[in-house]
């Protein structure tokens, strides 16, 4: 007979395989969770859902307050300096010159030679790029020679 466990959230008795194992670190490593996987998914849904599915007040808070706090902390840019850069670029990506359709399309690019990682001192911010251009530069490790060879290869 298969081992079972009662979920502390829904109270249903389920096979032990319906309870995920805990992470490999810590005192209870490898032991089964006390909440079944179905209930765990239900717990995460409101927080892990796409922005379009989040309540309006959460989206409004993010775009009016939280986003600027994150940008200032990560890139050293105030809202005013961010908007100046955006206007100077004419609402276009510095790489492909595609127009940004919405605020969430914009990625702040900085020189990783100055500040490795995701955070920047603010002095090495180069401009604003779209997601695709940001990924291309990241995969090339901001190496101009690699990007020039790729451009030559494509032509």
Total count of domains within the chain: 2
Q: What is the CATH number of the domain that holds 102?
A: 3.40.1800.10
Torsion angle defined by CA atoms of residues 78, 71, 114 and 149, in that order, rounded to the nearest 10 degrees: -120
The C-alpha atoms of residue 113 and residue 125 are separated, in whole angstroms, by 11
Helix or strand run (H / E) with residue 20: none
Do 67 and 139 lie in a common domain? yes
Q: Going from the first residue of the chain to its last (155 residues), give the mean pLDDT of each consecutive group of 10, the final group possibly shorter.
A: 87 91 70 86 57 67 80 91 93 95 88 87 93 94 94 94
Do 22 and 84 lie in a common domain? no
Cβ–Cβ < 8 Å for 20, 30:
no
**What pLDDT does 133 receive?**
95
- Here the tokens at position 5 are 């466990």
Do 81 and 122 lie in a common domain? yes
Do 36 and 108 lie in a common domain? no
Do 87 and 56 lie in a common domain? yes
**What pLDDT does 104 receive?**
81
- The residue segments making up the domain with residue 65 are 51-154
**What pLDDT does 135 receive?**
94
Do 146 and 81 lie in a common domain? yes
Do 10 and 65 lie in a common domain? no
Do 26 and 55 lie in a common domain? no
Do 26 and 67 lie in a common domain? no
Do 34 and 106 lie in a common domain? no
- Here the tokens at position 16 are 């032990």
**What pLDDT does 39 receive?**
83
**What pLDDT does 54 receive?**
66
């Amino acid at each position: 007979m298969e081992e079972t466990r009662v979920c502390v959230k829904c109270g249903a008795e389920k096979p032990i395989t319906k309870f995920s194992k805990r992470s490999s670190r810590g005192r209870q490593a490898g032991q089964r969770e006390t909440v079944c996987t179905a209930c765990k998914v239900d717990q995460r849904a409101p927080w892990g859902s796409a922005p379009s599915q989040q309540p309006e007040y959460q989206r409004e808070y993010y775009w009016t307050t939280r986003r600027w706090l994150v940008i200032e902390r990560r890139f050293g840019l105030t809202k005013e300096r961010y908007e100046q850069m955006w206007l100077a670029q004419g609402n276009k990506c510095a790489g492909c010159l595609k127009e940004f359709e919405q605020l969430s399309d914009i990625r702040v690019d900085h020189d990783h030679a100055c500040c490795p990682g995701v955070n920047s001192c603010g002095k090495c911010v180069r401009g604003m790029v779209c997601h695709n251009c940001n990924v291309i530069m990241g995969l090339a490790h901001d190496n101009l020679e690699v990007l020039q060879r790729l451009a030559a290869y494509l032509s």
